[in-house]
A and B are shown apart, each in its own frame.
Chain A
Amino acid sequence: MSPTEHERLKALVFQPVIRSTPVYYLWLAFLLVVFGAGVLAYLNQLNRGLVVTGMRDAVVWGLYISNFVFFSGLSMAGTFISAILRITGAGWRRPLTRLAELSTVAALLMTALMPVVDMGRPDRILNLVRFGRLESPLLWDLMVIPTYLVASALYLYLFLIPDVAVLRDELKGRVSGLRRRLYSLLALGWRGLSEQRQSLEWAGTVMMLVVIPIGVATHSVVSWIFGMTFRVGWNSTIFAPYFVVGALYSGTALLITLMFIIRRLYHLEDYLTEQHFRYLGYLMAAFGMVYFYFTFAEYLTTGYKLGGEEKDLLEEVFFGRYSRLVWPGFLAGQVLPVLLAVHPRTRTIPVLFGASLLVNVGMWLKRFIIVVPSLAAPLLPAYGWGIYIPTLTEVAVTVGSFAGFALVITIFAKLFPIVSLWETEPERELMVETGGPSLMGGQDD
């Protein structure tokens, strides 16, 4: 990237930080209203108890836990993919990393929120710490998810410092005093000195190496909540890698969705090019195929034997009451997007955007299918199938959580550059070509 191009990119990225359009404020107001409605619905639930939800004694987990698994999957997108791409030296990832890391933090905030929303008595959450047993997968979640959240937030922040310093220096008089103080505080005295760069790169490298195992651990632990429970449909040894691949798949799709939106809004057509979409499309297709393979292996093994309870469950899932969700979810989430991403004719930016949306709709349905039917399946012969119909409260909280996710990104985009300018600096690329720090820079493609 030439210095002129870099300056142009900087102007494009800084523009929304300095001045927002009425559309931005309308969008912000819309998100606040939807999020507020979700909060109100939750307060109603808090006041009246979980009886306002569709969850009962048989099906004790519903939309909230489905959302929990879904958001945890989305969180895989950013930090993990960003770290992998940094380590493998994929230079094309530079305009994407900030967006990816941000989406992780936003999704993890919602992930952490969902189990609390699912609790009848959230005021007793500390009992998990006071009386928790290390043998319980719930406690593993309690350890791993906050760790991943802190690690991701730290990872996002570390690579934000140089850009915040530029904001501090270049936006004097153009933003409010409060924001200037915020930038000054967050910049930590960054002046771009070589010692500072070395420190930052060292810390960033450590964080990069740390974030990958903890990302894998997060999705494994989420899967073990199910896999460690004696329940038909959950007795699987491949749940951990299955969930990790599922998370990578939906996470990559989310990245494509966000990239498409940011590209349009920020007019970054020259920087987020078709090449970026194509590469992410390849990744999405690859993860999709591996996910399909896991799905196939999982259902074939149990479906081939068709033992007792498994037979009833699979019949209900594929041909019974859940078939209306399973087949559209399977086609939309696993088959169609992969076909669209691998075929050269359909591998265009708008089609990939559509495919990425399909992936996440399908993956949400898949999470619902993992959670609910296994709980609804009767464990004793005298009992029938449990019934779960989500109520308006649950739907409002769910929609509110999606609005909350978008709200975090929207507010961040107003305060900080959504594209990492620091990593696209011309001299950084030069440093890479002449053999600079390999983990931080990498080779341009």
Chain B
Amino acid sequence: MIRKVFGLRLFAVFVTVLAVFWPGLPGPKQAAHADSPVKVRVEVTDVGFKPATVEVEQGQLVELTFVWAHQAYPGEEHIMVLEGYRLETEKINAGHREATIRFIADRSGTFTFKCDLDCELHQYLQNGVLKVRPGGGGGASRTPTVLRVTPSADTTDGKGVDLTVMLRDPSGGPVAKAEVKFYLETEFVGTKGLMEVGRVKTDDRGLAVWEYRPTVGQPEHRLTVRFEGMGIYDESQQTVIIRQVSTPPAAYVPAPVGFEKAPRLPATLARGAPDWAVSAWSWATNNWGPLTITTLVLGVWAAMARAVYEALRGLSGAETKPSHRR
């Protein structure tokens, strides 16, 4: 009997040792999956991040929590961003000390996490490192999503267009509290790109409504509506085309300048005059300074041109005997 009990104990010890040292078996960290994430806490202290380097395996679900732990800087506030994964935390400060980002470390490599606010300790909080070791045992993968925007095409006469976003997982379940961003394809001083024009969060039904109000005049407004995955979902996006059928009202109206009592174009003239003439009159009466300078400059150029012309004509046309002293 004693032998049998001893034998069982020996077997248990053997299995335990095997479990710990067997190379193919996952350790405690590697055992994480979608339901049991690797939890890492990083303290944000007066001298920087503690620890400053975090290591995880590729494929693990990670919960990275930043803990506000300042001693000498009670007024410090931070928003941490994880570059490469396009994730950011909520703001942390003395009143709200913890913020967590949850993501699947599906990309291997070295990524930087840092404070994105212009805080007092900014320079000490720029060097956090997340190392994602390739080929780890983590089996977590991002959940695909389906994003639908209605309408996918519309027209506008300058007024706003309501866009309804619906975000679903593959089973048709809603993706709630997900941030969806709206980008407008645009060009500024020769540079083309996507300009973020709005953000919205889905409700419990995975729905969100956002109004696009054109602020630039162009025949076609191409909007990219994108859900960036929040670290645990796959990215999904859709393009919406809104055609402009008339000029939108100016989004930015300059404050009125000039004198309100400046002379207006006489009513009899204004009645038959085209709009541009009335506008030009109004502009001229309120901008006599620039107009004077422009007139002076143009006059100077005209006089200079005439002087050069006369000099050249006189110098090249003279034929009589030279008279200058030698």
Q: Give A contacts to B, CB under 8 Å.
A: 3, 124, 127, 134-135, 139-140, 143-144, 147, 150-151, 154, 158, 161-162, 165-166, 169-170, 188-196, 198-200, 202-204, 206-207, 209-210, 213-214, 217, 221, 425-427
Contact (Cβ within 8 A) A144 B317: no
A207 to B319, CA, bound (A): 25
3 closest A-B pairs by CB: A199-B314, A192-B324, A203-B311
Tell me, rounded to whole Å, the shortest Cβ–Cβ distance linking A226 to chain B. 15
Name the one of B297, B301, B314 contacting A195, with C-beta atoms under 8 angstroms: B314
B283-300 Cβ-contact flags toward A at 8 Å (1 or 0)? 000010011011011001
Q: Chain A contacts of B320 at CB under 8 A?
A: 193-195
Contact (Cβ within 8 A) B324 A162: yes
* Closest chain B residue to A136, Cβ basis: B290
Q: Chain A contacts of B313 at CB under 8 A?
A: 199
Name the one of A151, A191, A204, A214 contacting B324, with C-beta atoms under 8 angstroms: A191
Contact (Cβ within 8 A) A147 B290: no
Q: Given known contacts A134-B290, A200-B315, is B297 in contact with A143 (CB within 8 Å)?
A: yes
Within 8 A of A (CB), among B309-326: 310-326
Between B257, B290, B304, B323, the greatest number of chain A beta carbons within 10 A of the residue's beta carbon is seen for B304
Question: What are 20 A-to-B residue pairs whose CB atoms are below 8 Å?
Answer: A3-B325, A124-B189, A143-B293, A144-B297, A147-B300, A150-B304, A162-B324, A190-B315, A192-B324, A193-B321, A193-B322, A195-B317, A195-B320, A199-B313, A202-B310, A206-B306, A207-B303, A210-B304, A214-B300, A425-B325
Contact (Cβ within 8 A) B314 A200: yes
B307 close to chain A: CB less than 8 A: yes
B251 close to chain A: CB less than 8 A: no
Name the one of B257, B287, B311 contacting A134, with C-beta atoms under 8 angstroms: B287
Contact (Cβ within 8 A) B326 A169: yes
Q: Give B contacts to A, CB under 8 Å.
A: 189, 257, 287, 290-291, 293-294, 296-297, 300-301, 303-304, 306-308, 310-326
Interface of chain A, main secondary structure:
helix
Q: Chain B contacts of A158 at CB under 8 A?
A: 307, 311
* Closest chain B residue to A427, Cβ basis: B325
Q: Given contacts A195-B314, A199-B310, A209-B303, list 10 more A-B pairs with CB under 8 A.
A: A127-B189, A134-B290, A147-B300, A151-B300, A154-B307, A190-B315, A195-B320, A210-B307, A214-B296, A427-B325
Q: Chain A contacts of B290 at CB under 8 A?
A: 134-135, 139-140
Contact (Cβ within 8 A) A192 B293: no
Q: Chain B contacts of A147 at CB under 8 A?
A: 297, 300-301
Contact (Cβ within 8 A) A199 B315: yes
Tell me, rounded to whole Å, the shortest Cβ–Cβ distance linking A189 to chain B. 6
A384 to B11, CA, bound (A): 75
Tell me, rounded to whole Å, the shortest Cβ–Cβ distance linking B190 to chain A. 10
Q: Chain A contacts of B311 at CB under 8 A?
A: 158, 188, 199-200, 202-203
Name the one of A170, A198, A217, A426 contacting B293, with C-beta atoms under 8 angstroms: A217
A11 to B90, CA, bound (A): 83
A170 to B324, CA, bound (A): 13
Contact (Cβ within 8 A) B300 A213: yes
Q: Chain A contacts of B315 at CB under 8 A?
A: 161, 188-190, 196, 199-200
Contact (Cβ within 8 A) B314 A210: no
Q: Chain A contacts of B189 at CB under 8 A?
A: 124, 127
Contact (Cβ within 8 A) B293 A207: no
Contact (Cβ within 8 A) B293 A144: yes
Between A124, A151, A161, the greatest number of chain B beta carbons within 10 A of the residue's beta carbon is seen for A151
Tell me, rounded to whole Å, the shortest Cβ–Cβ distance linking A182 to chain B. 17
Name the one of A166, A203, A426 contacting B308, with C-beta atoms under 8 angstroms: A203
Tell me, rounded to whole Å, the shortest Cβ–Cβ distance linking A227 to chain B. 11
Tell me, rounded to whole Å, the shortest Cβ–Cβ distance linking B176 to chain A. 40
Tell me, rounded to whole Å, the shortest Cβ–Cβ distance linking B173 to chain A. 48
Q: Chain A contacts of B323 at CB under 8 A?
A: 192-194
Contact (Cβ within 8 A) B321 A140: no
Between A139, A150, A161, A196, the greatest number of chain B beta carbons within 10 A of the residue's beta carbon is seen for A196
Between B296, B311, B314, the greatest number of chain A beta carbons within 10 A of the residue's beta carbon is seen for B311
Q: Chain A contacts of B326 at CB under 8 A?
A: 166, 169-170
Contact (Cβ within 8 A) A221 B314: no
Q: Chain B contacts of A426 at CB under 8 A?
A: 325
Tell me, rounded to whole Å, the shortest Cβ–Cβ distance linking B284 to chain A. 11
Q: Chain B contacts of A188 at CB under 8 A?
A: 311-312, 315-316
* Closest chain A residue to B325, Cβ basis: A425
A308 to B261, CA, bound (A): 31
Tell me, rounded to whole Å, the shortest Cβ–Cβ distance linking A125 to chain B. 12
Q: Chain A contacts of B307 at CB under 8 A?
A: 154, 158, 202-204, 206-207, 210
Q: Chain B contacts of A151 at CB under 8 A?
A: 300, 304
Contact (Cβ within 8 A) A165 B324: yes
* Closest chain B residue to A200, Cβ basis: B311
Contact (Cβ within 8 A) A135 B287: yes
Contact (Cβ within 8 A) B296 A154: no
A219 to B164, CA, bound (A): 58
Tell me, rounded to whole Å, the shortest Cβ–Cβ distance linking B265 to chain A. 20
A434 to B316, CA, bound (A): 28
Q: Chain A contacts of B300 at CB under 8 A?
A: 147, 151, 210, 213-214
Q: Chain A contacts of B325 at CB under 8 A?
A: 3, 192, 425-427
Tell me, rounded to whole Å, the shortest Cβ–Cβ distance linking B29 to chain A. 42
Contact (Cβ within 8 A) B318 A191: yes
Contact (Cβ within 8 A) B322 A134: no
Q: Chain A contacts of B293 at CB under 8 A?
A: 140, 143-144, 217, 221
A425 to B323, CA, bound (A): 12
A139 to B289, CA, bound (A): 12
A213 to B297, CA, bound (A): 10
Tell me, rounded to whole Å, the shortest Cβ–Cβ distance linking A143 to chain B. 5
A73 to B296, CA, bound (A): 20
A380 to B90, CA, bound (A): 29
Tell me, rounded to whole Å, the shortest Cβ–Cβ distance linking B109 to chain A. 29
A119 to B315, CA, bound (A): 43
Contact (Cβ within 8 A) B296 A198: no
A135 to B324, CA, bound (A): 50
A158 to B300, CA, bound (A): 16
A202 to B315, CA, bound (A): 12
A193 to B312, CA, bound (A): 14
A147 to B316, CA, bound (A): 26
